Amino acid sequence: MKFTFAHNNFNVTNLEQSIAFYQEALGLVETRRIQPESGDFTIVFLGDAATPHLLELTWLKEHPQAYDLGENEFHLAMRVDDFEAAHAKHQEMGCICFENPAMGIYFIHDPDNYWIEIIPAD
């Protein structure tokens, strides 16, 4: 038996705002959408066009309040080929929430305060 990664899910309070953030901050694009006629939820999958791994954003009609992220100890990690340019862009966007220069990484947060670790390409 072999398992492979498919996607990670973040539940979001404002789907369009989240899609715009991930597009601007990380260059992710929508790959598909699930939206029942009832309008009770919408699921949007975002991809990086380089790997098969996807980010699933889920919006629930009956959950307009912010999500409780606890201590926010989980995160996604993204590699970037131009670390300095990415850092400058994220600094300009005002979304850097933690930096660790000793490790050569930093974190950004999305509109719902999920954290994304930014690491230089190997």
Q: Could you state, in order of their start, the residue ranges of all structural domains in the chain?
A: 7-61+74-120
- Catalytic annotation, residues: 117
Question: If pLDDT is split at 50, 70 and 90, which confidence band does 72 have?
Answer: confident
**DSSP code of 71?**
T
CA distances for 90 relative to 22, 43, 44, angstroms: 11, 26, 23
The CATH number fitting domain 7-61+74-120, selected from 3.40.50.2020, 3.10.180.10, 1.10.579.10, 3.40.50.2300? 3.10.180.10
Q: Is 115 helix (H, G, I), strand (E, B) or coil?
A: strand
**Vertex 21, ends 19 and 27: CA angle to 5°?**
85
Question: If pLDDT is split at 50, 70 and 90, which confidence band does 1 have?
Answer: confident
Give this prediction's pTM. Answer: 0.92
